[in-house]
Structure 1
Amino acid sequence: MSKVSGLFQDLTTIKKARNGRLASWDQRGKNQDYWEIPAKESIVLGEVEGPGCITHIWMTSSCRKVKAPSILDPVSNASAAPVMEIHPALGVIWDDYDPFYYRKALIKITWDDQDTPSVLVPFGDFFCIGNCYPGNFSSLPFNVSLKPEEAGRYGAPCSVSCYFPMPFNKRAKIEIVNENELPFILYFNIDYEMYKEPLDENTAYFHSSWRRENPCDGWGPDIQTNSPEVNNVTNFKGDGNYTVLDVEGTGHYVGCNLTVKHYQGSWWGEGNDMFFIDGEEYPSLNGTGTEDYFNHAWGMQRNAFPFFGTIVHEGDTDGFQVSYRFHITDPVRFEKSLRVTIEHGHANHLSDDWSSTAYWYQTLPTGNKITVLPVEERLPNVPVLPDKAQRTPELTEEMKAARKSWNKRWEEYGPARQEQFRIKENKARRESILNTEFAKKLRDEYK
């Protein structure tokens, strides 16, 4: 046994393993290295036989809505990289982002022979994109990288990474479920290791689930936060707390991200975190405030550290905050059950919009069936400008001719562009099968 210690001690020991990768690379040898995930469809990114472990997931995506005919040929442009759609030049192409597609799609992961997934989370929220609003941040298990010109936009394209190890004994199945009316493009690399020997019986499997209360059931949202009337109300048993995780089984909780849209206009972060371990009536782990649970104080600051931090600060948005806390060195362990809760305001007096993604490890089978809210209940609450009536002036003959020409181009361009989407969707379906076949080939060679 190695006597080397430290955070990277694993790198100093030779292990018998074989690397593999599921990816969106163009298996025709061309440069269309992404998949078009069809609308209203589930696509398997790949299925891998075990024993093995997913070591890293990287993805980038974009969902575009065609709004007008481009001056580019839709067929020849379809063979180019999709940079024109992701950051279109003015006057060349008009594709607008679907601002909420990060919540309309789901990431779904199923381990071994289970008939229920262990990961079922809105695509963006899994990678800590709260409210479909990406923000640059770097933590130990998750990273998001956003182009500066895309900052401050719902649905903005970015790259995301996850480094949580995800072991499996028999198989791993990774899917994207697109519940949108639109397709979206997805680049991905999913790196994994294969082993010859089965995993230990006490192996804990990665899990993740998403919850939302919109709004939380507050008893005094009209009473100012930190007022004596609020602060003198007691809440010993966590009645009415927001639930981050409620699970049965044996394992350990390793953290969450939390998105809060605050409506009162004062301060949302006075609620205590309360952990109920193995069926406790009273929590054995009590916190001192939501900002304190996320390792901040006196409010939330604009920083992002390996284990905790702010991804998006409420002062930079239309009133919502995205924060994270990862229990990498201090996991919360449970043998029978665990309930992770936080007060929404002291003693749950506030009625804000809370949503969260929990991450934990436990032995199989998954203790509680993981479900997710329907798509219409996942969408963010955002300010909406009132409709403005527009008056159309009398058109000149040139104006009439311009509109007629535009309509004619749209009649030709629209169907041609949509046909290219269908071609790329079929490519994704084919390469989904090829990914699993290639993973099986690697597995058969390494036994």
Structure 2
Amino acid sequence: MTDAALSPLRGLAKLRKAKTRRFSSFDRTGGNDDRLHIEPGETVVIAEHAGAGIITHIWSTLACESESFLRKIVLRAWWDGEAEPSIETPIGDFFGMGHAQTRNYASLPMQASPEDGKAFNCYFPMPFASHMKFTITNEAEHDLLFYYYVDLELHETLDEDMGRFHAQYRQDRPHAPSEEGRTNEQVLFGSENVDGKENYTILNATGHGHYVGVLFSVYSRRRSAVWDWYGEGDDMIFIDGEAGISVPDTIRKPDPRIGPKAKLIADRAESVPGANDAWPPTLHGTGTEDYFNTAWCPTQTYSGPYHGIIAAGGPNWTEPVTLYRWHIEDPVIFHKSIRVTIEHGHANGRSDDISSVAFWYQSEPHQSFDRLPGVAERVPTFRAPYRNWSAVVNKTRS
């Protein structure tokens, strides 16, 4: 029986030849100051090893007086002597809820635990063949207190077919067309998206690997006094320049409040070799809540092994939203390139604040990441909440 045939519990009985080790912030004097004191502007190495191994678990918790500090502390990691990091993300977004906030949640590879989701845990395996290094950079205005474990196995060698772990942060406030002259139904459900070019990009990578999931955060900027669901945007994943597969379409009955029936979009190949824009997308979804394995405009928090809602958005989705979707049983495999996208509202009709951390494995070298937005760009900005939301609801219903 091979290792691949063993479930996690059954596999515990199999004896192993690796060595278990740990990096941590323990007080080297034997005292109780078991944390790093990282000054503003300082970068510190929290783990580094020459040789082969696999990171098996990371735990951390942080304290800092700076506002929104979880967006100002940056986690980076490098594998096997590479010049550019394979992990680069604000630490709060990497481990859980975006928006520089914390909430309790539990999934298979990532968890944020009590108190109030401030204990961060990651169980994604992270292999390296010859070298690894992790750093923390404090871009906040005050000192950072950083407690951590990095647990790992040391190996003589690694299997050659093991990909390297990657995580990349992105954010945007994408443009949306004017709402002038359109009803609320037309804004939320009207128009057609025929190419996906204006979608929000979660991941754009080249090489051979597989996409394994995303932490996805949204903050509504529309603030409508009527029903204002943010999540009607379809997921569209373009893989290796190959179009998706489908069965013949059925009869469609469009809502007359939205507009007339549109024409079917013809299948098409890549516009040029390597553009990875064939239509339909290799994987085409049906709505944001559908991609995150929920349904019917959810308003409840939920934690599952492979998907969940860490923050549901509050009244009329006017508060922060964070969702997660892990492709653990269904990794999205690419051999040349992958572009993971999602509409910002149906047909890209909304201009909300969106941020994400994409997670994937691939062979090196990886495509260079876009520039990490500066601190001033990353810090979330929130509008004042409705003071009398029940009155707004009653007015809308009447």
Q: TM-score normalised by the shorter chain: which range applies?
A: 0.7 to 0.9
Relative to structure 1, the CA distance from residue 103 to residue 222 in structure 2 (aligned partners, 3 Å threshold; closer, same or farther) is farther
SS in 1 for 2:232: coil
SS in 1 for 2:314: helix
Distance 1:46 1:232 in 2: 51
The residue aligned with 2:131 is: 171
The residue aligned with 1:276 is: 238
1:320-335 alignment, distance < 5 Å: 320-335=320-335
Q: How many residues align?
A: 342
Structure 1 unaligned segments of length 5 or more: list them: 65-97, 152-156, 386-447
AA partner of residue 340 (structure 1) = V
1:30-429 alignment, distance < 5 Å: 30-64=31-65, 98-147=66-115, 158-196=118-156, 198-213=157-172, 215-220=173-178, 227-228=185-186, 231-264=189-222, 265=224, 266-279=228-241, 280-281=276-277, 282=279, 283-300=281-298, 301-315=300-314, 319-369=319-369, 371-383=371-383
**Preserved contact between residue 105 and residue 180 of structure 1 (Cα < 8 Å):** yes
- 1:341-370 CA distance string (max 9 Å, x none): 000011101011000010000011122335
SS in 1 for 2:221: coil
AA partner of residue 150 (structure 2) = I
Distance 2:103 2:112 in 1: 7
Distance 1:226 1:286 in 2: 25
Distance 1:312 1:168 in 2: 34
Distance 1:276 1:37 in 2: 41
Cα deviation for residue 318 of structure 1 reads 5.4
Query: Of Structure 1 and Structure 2, which has the larger fraction of its residues in helix?
Result: 1
**Preserved contact between residue 81 and residue 132 of structure 2 (Cα < 8 Å):** no
Distance 1:365 1:244 in 2: 20
Relative to structure 1, the CA distance from residue 359 to residue 224 in structure 2 (aligned partners, 3 Å threshold; closer, same or farther) is farther
**Preserved contact between residue 84 and residue 368 of structure 2 (Cα < 8 Å):** no
Distance 1:212 1:25 in 2: 34
The residue aligned with 2:9 is: 8
Distance 1:370 1:52 in 2: 28
**Preserved contact between residue 44 and residue 176 of structure 1 (Cα < 8 Å):** yes
Cα deviation for residue 218 of structure 1 reads 1.0
Relative to structure 1, the CA distance from residue 277 to residue 41 in structure 2 (aligned partners, 3 Å threshold; closer, same or farther) is same
Structure 1 length as normaliser, TM-score? Answer: 0.73
Identity among equivalent positions (%) equals: 40
Whichever of the two has the greater Rg, that structure is 1
- 1:95-123 CA distance string (max 9 Å, x none): xxx23110011000011110100000001
Cα deviation for residue 10 of structure 1 reads 2.9
SS in 2 for 1:377: helix
**Preserved contact between residue 76 and residue 87 of structure 2 (Cα < 8 Å):** yes
Cα deviation for residue 222 of structure 1 reads 6.0
AA partner of residue 273 (structure 1) = D
**Preserved contact between residue 188 and residue 229 of structure 2 (Cα < 8 Å):** no
Cα deviation for residue 43 of structure 1 reads 0.6
Distance 1:161 1:362 in 2: 22
AA partner of residue 169 (structure 2) = W
**Preserved contact between residue 204 and residue 251 of structure 1 (Cα < 8 Å):** yes
**Preserved contact between residue 241 and residue 348 of structure 1 (Cα < 8 Å):** yes
Cα deviation for residue 235 of structure 1 reads 1.3
Please provide the CA RMSD for this pair.
Answer: 2.0
SS in 2 for 1:376: helix
**Preserved contact between residue 288 and residue 342 of structure 2 (Cα < 8 Å):** yes
**Preserved contact between residue 225 and residue 268 of structure 1 (Cα < 8 Å):** no
